[in-house]
Structure 1
Amino acid sequence: MRTAEFDRHEVLEAAMEVFCRKGYANTTMQDLKIATGLHPGSLYCAFTNKRGILLAALQQFIENRWQQSQQCFQHENALEGIRSYLKRLVTNLLEKNSYCLLSRTIAEFSHIDDEISQMLMVPWQQLSDRLAQELKRAAAQGHLKSDLSIQDTTQMLFVMVMGLRSFPCILVDEQVLNASVDSLIELIRAPRG
């Protein structure tokens, strides 16, 4: 049997776009064929079925976004790193004008597919842990209001992330979304003095 030859990264990026735009249930193999330029036989050979394509696309999406977030969190000022992460999220989502693949998949699968639900819990927990770590760093740098609970502030930021991941389908005004990010950062920032 011949092995399909293609750029896996490009194929999965194309599949992500379709799944983000249409959702898993409304995506057909014909949609994936058109988006990827591959024949269904090649897709089946490489990924077994549509669910296999989704799982591979999710894994790539998670890895891509994790690398991007880590770059943002390298900022010397931890609070500015968090702002950078949130604004990068806005930019990423508005580029495609679609739901985040993670959010969309959670909405479709969270109650019906334990494997996918478990797979999606890992990046959310990693992000929550990283936000808490960055908030602790911001507090140590004197940039975070001293009366804030790290746990409560982490949860507030996490809610902001979830909201941003959902909003671009409804609200595509980058200025409004970025102003919301700035307002949240200013709410938790220590007074400048």
Structure 2
Amino acid sequence: MRTAEFDREQVLEAAMEVFCQKGYVKTTMQDLKEATGLHPGSIYCAFKNKRGMLLAALNQFIQSRWRQSQLCLDSEEPLDGIQYYLHQLAEKLCMHHPHCLLSRTVADFSSVDNDIRDALEQPWRELLERLETLLVKAKEQGSLKPSINPQNAAWLLLISVFGLRGFPQFMADEKSLHACIDLQINLMRCE
């Protein structure tokens, strides 16, 4: 049997867009065929099925966009890095890039599929750990209020990140989103 030849990264980017816009359940093989330019036989050969293509798209999303966006967190002052990261998320939302493959897939799946649940959980856990590490550093540097528990604050920020990623585009008021981000971070800062 001949191996299908295509740019895997490009195909998965196209599949991501479809899964983000329609959700897994409403995405058909015809949608994937139109978006990727692959015939169903090639999709089945490379990914086994629609679920396999979703898992591959999730993996690519995590490896590229998710990890890339976390580079925003790098800063000498941890709270500045977190604030910058949140502002970047808000800007993407307001620039009509509201769909996040992770958030959309969470909305489509409950705990019925262990592989998908594990793929979804990993980046959120990594972000939670990264936020907590940054908040501990901020506390050590004296920029985080002493009364704030870094672990609890990390959970609060994770909820904010998830909220931004799932925020409806039609309600995205850029000025208000940025003001709320500044408020949240400033409430954590030492005066």
TM-score normalised by structure 2 residue count: 0.92
- Which region of structure 1 is more displaced relative to structure 2, 63-72 or 181-190? 63-72
Q: Which 5+ residue runs of structure 2 have no aligned equivalent?
A: none
Q: Is the 8 A contact 1:132 1:151 kept in 2?
A: yes
| Cα drift, residue 119 of structure 1 | 1.9
TM-score normalised by structure 1 residue count: 0.91
Aligned-partner Cα distance in 1 for 2:176–2:63: 28
Aligned-partner Cα distance in 2 for 1:51–1:73: 32
| Cα drift, residue 175 of structure 1 | 2.2
- Which region of structure 1 is more displaced relative to structure 2, 120-129 or 59-68? 59-68
Which residue in 2 is equivalent to 1:190?
A: 190
Deviations 1:61-90 (A, max 9, x none): 111233223311221111111011112222
Aligned-partner Cα distance in 1 for 2:161–2:120: 15
Deviations 1:130-152 (A, max 9, x none): 00001111112221111111111
Which residue in 2 is equivalent to 1:107?
A: 107
Q: CA RMSD in A?
A: 1.6
**SS of corresponding position for 1:5:** coil
Aligned-partner Cα distance in 2 for 1:41–1:16: 19
Q: How does 1:46-125 map to 2 (within 5 A)?
A: 46-125=46-125
Q: Is the 8 A contact 2:96 2:169 kept in 1?
A: no
- Aligned amino acid, residue 27 of structure 1: T
Q: Is the 8 A contact 2:13 2:57 kept in 1?
A: yes
Which residue in 2 is equivalent to 1:175?
A: 175
Name the % identity.
Answer: 55
* Count of equivalent residues: 191
Q: Which 5+ residue runs of structure 1 have no aligned equivalent?
A: none
